[in-house]
């Protein structure tokens, strides 16, 4: 089905990162991602899963305000996130949906750092 190595995450990841986003925003200079989030990067969650170190893509379900689901495709090597809306048939989503998923844009580099993704892939470290 998939031609590249990928990790497919669960809704617990989304609720975890979305719930921690306000805390991260308040203390980003000292914030460290906890084991719940880091275990996703290391391939320990969800079970079964794979370490992101060997992945090209990570797929994340994104809840949009409790009323609608989107799919996020994180291209780890290109450092790019696409949001797909099943109602629109393509990746172009409304601005409010982008705002709802901004926690991924801001927190993923820190999660990759804390989950030790960059140790194997130093070229992709936080700028």
The tokens describing 119, both together, are 């140790």
- The domains located in the chain, with CATH, are 6-88+96-118 (3.30.310)
Residue range 34-66, pLDDT digits in tens: 999 999 999 999 988 899 999 999 999 999 877
pLDDT at 3: 59
Contact 59, 8 (CB under 8 A): yes
* Confidence bin at 96 (pLDDT 50/70/90): low
> CA-CA distances (angstroms) from residue 85 to 19, 82, 108?
22, 10, 21
* pLDDT the model gives residue 92: 58
- Model pTM? 0.84
Q: Which pLDDT score is estimated for 66?
A: 79
């Amino acid at each position: 089905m998939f031609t590249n190595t990928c990790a497919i995450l669960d809704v617990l990841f989304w609720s975890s990162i979305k719930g921690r986003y306000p805390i991260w925003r308040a203390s980003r200079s000292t914030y460290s991602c906890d084991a719940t989030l880091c275990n996703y990067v290391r391939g320990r969650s969800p079970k079964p899963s794979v370490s992101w170190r060997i992945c090209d893509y990570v797929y994340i379900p994104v809840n949009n305000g409790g009323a609608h689901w989107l799919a996020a495709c994180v291209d780890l090597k290109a450092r790019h996130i696409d949001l797909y809306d099943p109602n629109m048939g393509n990746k172009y989503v409304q601005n409010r949906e982008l705002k709802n998923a901004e926690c991924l844009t801001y927190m993923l580099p820190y999660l990759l750092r804390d989950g030790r993704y960059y140790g194997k892939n130093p070229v992709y470290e936080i700028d």
